[in-house]
Amino acid sequence: MQTMDSRFRKIQRVMWYVLFLNLAVAFAKIGYGMWTNVLSMQSDGYHSLFDGVSNVIGLIGIQIASKPPDAEHPYGHRKFETIAAVFIAFILGAVAFEIVRSALMRFDNGSIPEVTTISFLVMLGTMIVNYTVTTYEKKKGNELRSEVLLADSAHTRSDIYVSMSVLLGLLAIRAGYPMVDPIISIFVAVVILHAGMEIIFSSVSVLCDESRIDPEEIRGVVCRVEGVMGCHNIRTRGPEGCVYVDLHVEVDPSMPTYKSHTVAHIVQYRLKEAFEGIEEVLVHIEPEDNSYNYK
């Protein structure tokens, strides 16, 4: 089982790789867009720079989240990773707004960018890089159970949609339909905004300590432990891969203290064995009391 410190180091390594690739993609589109005066390609390049900004935010969030628990943060700093994911979502919203604004301006001025063969090659090449990045980042995000990697993967995936809109827009211009370009851009902006909202909803559930595991599933595991008469007040919280569980376990009133502690340790072990991603289990031992109906 990997340590928390090892996990954060792996996430940081992925973020550095992705940052380098995002900057390479951004400068390729901006550079050639300026060289040929292709406004849509320049805009897409600046959009890719937002990926770099989100990578930096992610790296800062991971650096803070990797700090061990202290007196002020006894549960650690893991939620800073979730906060970084929220910032990325807001960046997605800003990108969507900018795309819509640019599309509306295109309707007003009717400007037509210059289209060359190299323009298509640059766009196709950067789309391949972005697809590789988002696939790799999503895979690592699932492996490391990292919200910030999964959020940034969604952000990078939005780049593919944006680049596709630019590519289709260039094809439409070649075919004599330049107004298709801003229409496609608005559609892509909606897709990006949807991705940002999904990240926000997922992150808010963690920040608001939404229940992470079904209490009935936990009860089923705990009540199979020898010596357990019942359990109640089951609560779970935390991000995926770092879930905290606390519950009250009922035992025979005549059970010796040392034996009840053994039961508590077995409960902790069984829960961590049954549910992946549990960081800590706090067990409150109580004598069985049939006069109460606990939930």
Instruction: Give the pLDDT score at 189.
Output: 76
Q: Are the CB atoms for 82 and 203 separated by under 8 Å?
A: yes
> Is the pLDDT confidence value at 185 over 90?
no
Instruction: Give me the residue label for tokens 């800062």.
Output: 60
The letter for the amino acid at 152 is D
Query: What's the burial of 1, exposed, middle or buried (CB within 10 Å: 0-12/13-18/19+)?
Result: exposed
Query: Which are the contacts of 152, defined by CB distance < 8 A and separation ≥ 6?
Result: 15, 18, 51, 54, 55, 58, 88, 137, 141
CB atoms within 10 A of CB 143: 13
Tokens coding 34: 């300026």
Look at the pTM and tell me if it is higher than 0.85. no
φ/ψ of residue 244, rounded to 5 = -105, 135
Q: What pLDDT shows up at residue 166? A: 78
- Band of the pLDDT at 217, cuts 50, 70, 90? very high
In this structure, what DSSP letter does residue 294 have? -
pLDDT at 246 over 90: yes
- Highest mean pLDDT among 31-40, 51-60, 72-81, 280-289 belongs to 280-289
User: Averaged over 28-42, what is the pLDDT?
Assistant: 74
- Alpha carbons 251 and 81: distance in angstroms, whole number: 39
Residue 3, pLDDT score: 55
Whether residue 257 is predicted with pLDDT greater than 50 in this model: the reply is yes
Residues forming beta bridges with residue 105, ordered by sequence position: none
Q: How many CB atoms lie within 10 A of CB 123?
A: 24
pLDDT of residue 295: 45
Structure tokens at 98: 């900018």
The confidence band for 1, taking pLDDT boundaries of 50, 70 and 90, is very low
- Cα 62 to Cα 58: distance, rounded to the nearest angstrom: 6
Q: What percent of the chain shows pLDDT beyond 90?
A: 17
pLDDT at 259: 92
Residues 164-178 as b or e (16 or more Cβ within 10 Å = b): ebbbbbbebbeeeeb
pLDDT at 4: 57
Mean pLDDT, the chain, rounded, equals: 79
pLDDT digits (tens, 9 = 90+) for 129-169: 888 888 888 888 888 877 778 877 877 777 787 788 778 77
Helix, strand, or coil here: 283? strand
Match 């589109």 to its residue by tokens: 29
Interval 202-228 mean pLDDT:
87
Q: In what order do the strands lie in the sheet with 228-237?
A: 228-237, 243-251, 278-287
First to last CA, the chain: 33
